[in-house]
Structure formats: structure tokens, C-alpha cells
Structure 1
């Protein structure tokens, strides 16, 4: 499928200074799309893109996504610069590895502020624009850990499970306005996500959860050998967006597919196990 700037339109992408978000911006700019890219540091974004990238159609925006007023202003700047919006990608986020008991109140609030409140702030700002146009696409980047959970990832999973739920509801709410919703669920991609610069650890850890400590070490060792290719991942997101169709969920990576399949199998076994007991709490049939 050939990609043209006309078909790509204008994109509003969050979390763009590294990883999948950075690669997405790089490919969009190379294809001639207009891109409004939010980050905590516009200078770092431009430096990461490098001198070989033509940034003439880039609007870099330094935004704290947890600040509703900043998000609204960023969206207004994008519309003023490019005229409208076609695709919105909620990609901002970071990893956090700790046992549930070890996770502090402030760490919970900071994570959910970015992964849930930040997404909601963007959606409230962009949906009136897309709804008035009666077209557009919202892409919420979740994770395979938005479908299944593993020890040590409780807080991260909590945020991504929330993104899954709000995205399902959103898809049904906006369908009549011609707005499509995609939930992207990557597995492990070879980005900086698992480096000590990107992966947050608890301020205070305990010795009560050796499984979690092992999980931390195993994930740090995994850096550089992840299965997922971010170049292919970004290209896959773009292809589905411009195709205008596709399923609600876009799994990226064979590892993501395997984890999701195992979760579905486990859920089916659970449903079968309670099939006879679940109706016991119903009122008697009239």
C-alpha cells in the first residue's frame, strides 16, 4: 500500500521523544504528514529525530498531559497550524516494576495521571473536533499487559487495563460519528522502554517479593533482545490508520499474541468452571 501525505492527513501524537512514539513521528514526517507531537521536552524530540529528518511539517509541543489546560492549548495550536486533525494517538507512558505492596500513593497517582487522566484530557480536547467533522481515528496505545497481568507490573497493568476499558466504551460511543477507535497492544519492542532511564522502580522496595526482584533483573537483561521491531510496529499502526478499517484491537508482536491467547484460554476455563454456579444468585424465574 503506497502512502501519501494526503492520505495520512494531520496527526496529533503524544509521548514522542523516544520509543514507538518517536519512530511513528519519524515515519509520518518522512511520508509528508503534518504532525503535532507532544513531549515533556520539545528540544529532546527534535534532537532525537536528527538532522536527516525534515521537520518542516512538525509542530513540537512541550505539554504536561496531566494538565487539562495545557492539553487544550496544545490541541488548539495544532488546529491553528494545520487546520484540523485526522488521527490522534495517545502513546505517552512509562514502565514501572514493583510489587503492589511496595507501590506508594504518589507513584500510583503519577502513573495513572499520565496513562489514564492524560488520555482522558486529550480525548476531551479532540473529540469535539472529530465529531464535528464526522470522521477521524483515535489510536490508544495500550499493551499486551492491558489484557493480562504478571507479577511486578501491577501498577502499569492497572493503567493499561483502564485504557482498554475506556477505549471499548469510546469506540461504541463515537461509531455513529464516523470516528474509528483502535487499541494498540504491543508486546516487548526493542526500544529504550526497559532501560534504567525509562523503567521506573519503587522508591522503597522490600525483600518480601523475590519473584518481583527476579522480574526486575530479567527485564533489565532483556533490553536489546526484545522481539519487536519499532520500525515495523510504527509502520503497522500507520497502515491500519490509513486503511480505515481493521479490528478494535491491533496486537503487535508474536509474543503479544501468545500472551493474549493464554489469557483468553484461562478466561474460558474460568467461565466454564463457574457456568453452573453463576446463576445461583439470580432471582427465581417468574
Structure 2
């Protein structure tokens, strides 16, 4: 368990101005912990936290694509609070389009924020964690980081990358006292599916009518999602405080049902291809 018990913990949370990130910051402050919260608008973040005690908050506007800016934010956190205990990579946005419809610029923008932004945070935070041989990294993925669906290709690609990065990192730092958890929520009742957080194809290509229908259905979904962001944020706090979460922490009964169903289907696929798989071994080599 790496979460400190004798003094307030210090958190670093990205993507904190709305949705799950905002609720997480609110709960961290209510616990009496310190938190650096990054967003594109510190003013909007502070305004959204009206009613919370923000004396332990460091609100920063940080371009996560800028490695030097991220490093400066981590340095400012330690200078302000004297330590760093938990990092939550939460920044990101959704995107719905057929693979063929995604432009090069759209793909690069997604990876810059969702993957390389998180990687910048990791590179900046890990030296502190290694030096004190403790710390907890929580990377917020999605059920779409485990199971891809038509129309979610770009978003899934970014989240699948986060999954692979996190799994490798977990093995690398296991002997250094550093914990890594991947959080995979299902549908949360946030702004994620609203225009402010959801990109769509700028040019629609004939033949992908099913993607158009799926996109329209998701755009009509806000307010009906199963997941409660307050409970999801509480679960993330518990992941850090308990220090007992598995590498993959699903959030939501929908996420659990999709993941376990996909796991069964994947096992069946592997078994179906078993006979062909073993034909590629060099004979006589065990």
C-alpha cells in the first residue's frame, strides 16, 4: 500500500474541469487531500468547484502535449505540497466515425492528448516515485480500451494503446514500490457524449449508414447512462486508498458484462484457431 496514512496525500489529476475528473477532484478535496488539477481552463475548473474548500487545490492550465509544460506542472505540485503520491491520467475525449473517415490530423490530435499526453505525465512523475519507492499511477481507460466496436476505431486505438502502455509499466515498476491501475468505466452520466467532449466525422462516406445511426443513438444518450460519476470517482479514490485493486479495474455493470462476454468470445476464437497456430512451430523444437 503506497497511499500515505500520516499526512494528506497529494494527487495530480488531468482532465479535471468536467465529468469524472471534476468529481474526482471534488472528492479529493473533501477528503482533505492536496490536488493539482489540470485542464484547459483553470477559471472554469475553480468555478465548477464552488462550495468546495479549494485551499488545497492547485489549478493549472497545462497543454499535455507539451512535455516541458507537464514537467513544470509536476515540479509546481511538489513545490506547493512537498510531495506527490497519486497520478490520475484522465484527460481525453470521444470520437465517433468509421476508420476510413478519420483524417490524419484527427488521429494525431487524439493520440497527442490521449496517449502522448499521458506518457508526458508518466515521464515527469516517475522519477519522484522511484526516488521514494512509492506512488500510485491510475490511468483512466474505457471498456472500449478492452473491446472495440464499429465507429469507435480512433477512440479505441488510443485506449488500447493506454492499456498496453500501462500493463508494461506495471511490470517495470512492480519492484519499485509503485502501483499501476487501469480503470475501465462503462457509460457514465457525464458530458462525454455531448458535443463539448465528442468529435464526429467531418466528412461522411457512403456505405457507413450504420455508423451514422450508432452516432445518433449515442448523441441522444446523455442523461440515460447507467453509470454514476460520483460513485465512479469514489471507486477511484478507493483504488488509491486501499492499494488493493487489480491491474484492470472495471467500473459499471455494463463494463463488466461487456468485458466478460468478450473474454469468453476471445477464448473461443483462440481455440478455433489452435490447430492452425501450432503448425508454424519448427518440428522437433519444444
Above 0.5 in TM-score?
yes
- Mapped to 2, the partners of 1:166 and 1:33 lie a distance apart of 28
Distance in 2 between the 1:56 and 1:5 partners?
20
Q: 1:37-186 to 2 correspondence within 5 Å? A: 37-50=37-50, 52-186=51-185
Q: What's 1:233 paired with?
A: 232
Query: What displacement does 1:28 show?
Result: 0.4
Q: What's 2:16 paired with? A: 16
CA–CA distance in structure 2, aligned partners of residues 109 and 23 of structure 1: 28
Structure 2 counterpart SS, 1:234: helix
Distance 2:20 2:26 in 1: 10
Between the aligned partners of 2:139 and 2:211, the Cα distance in structure 1 is 28
The C-alpha deviation readout for 1:98-141, integer Å capped at 9, x for no partner, is 00000000000000000110010000000000010101100000
Task: Deviation per CA, 1:67-106: give whole Å up to 9, x if none.
Answer: 1010001101001001110000000000000000000000
Cα distance change, pair 141–194 in 1 and its aligned pair in 2 (3 A)? same
Gaps of 5+ in 2: none
Task: State the alpha-carbon separation in 2 of the partners of residues 100 and 268 from structure 1.
Answer: 26
SS at match of 1:277: helix
Which whole-Å CA distance do the structure 2 matches of 1:277 and 1:90 have between them?
Answer: 40
Deviation at 1:207, TM superposition (A): 2.9
Query: In 2, Cα distance between the equivalents of 1:215 and 1:70?
Result: 38
- 2:274 match: secondary structure: coil
Shift of 1:7: 6.4
d(CA) in 1 for partners of 2:184, 2:17: 20
The two structures, once aligned, show a CA RMSD in angstroms of 1.4
Residue 272 of structure 1 corresponds to which residue in structure 2? 271
CA shift for structure 1 position 4:
9.8
Matched, 1:250 2:214: no
How far apart are 1:20 and its partner, in Å?
0.4
Q: Distance in 2 between matches of 1:190 and 1:65?
A: 25
Alignment partners' CA distance in 1, 2:8 and 2:236: 12
Mapped partners of 2:277, 2:236: distance in 1: 40
Using structure 2 for the length normalisation, give the TM-score.
0.97
1:30-70 Cα shifts (integer Å, max 9, x gaps): 111000011111011111112x1111000001000011010
Which runs of at least 4 in structure 1 moved beyond 3 Å after TM superposition? 3-8
Superposition TM-score, scaled by structure 1 size: 0.97
Q: Which runs of 5+ in 1 are unaligned?
A: none
Partner of residue 213, structure 1: 212
The 8 Å contact of residues 11 and 34 in structure 1, kept in 2 or not, is answered as yes
Whole-Å separation in 2 of the counterparts to 1:246 and 1:8: 21
The alignment partner of 1:222 has SS state of coil
Determine the structure 1 residue equivalent to 2:282: 283
Question: What is aligned with 2:27?
Answer: 27
Instruction: Give the Cα–Cα distance (whole angstroms) in 2 for the partners of residues 6 and 98 of structure 1.
Output: 48
- Partner Cα distance (2:282, 2:29) in 1: 59
Structure-1 separation of matches of 2:40 and 2:20: 16
Give the number of aligned pairs.
283
Is the Cα–Cα contact under 8 Å of residues 97 and 199 in structure 1 kept in the other structure?
Answer: yes
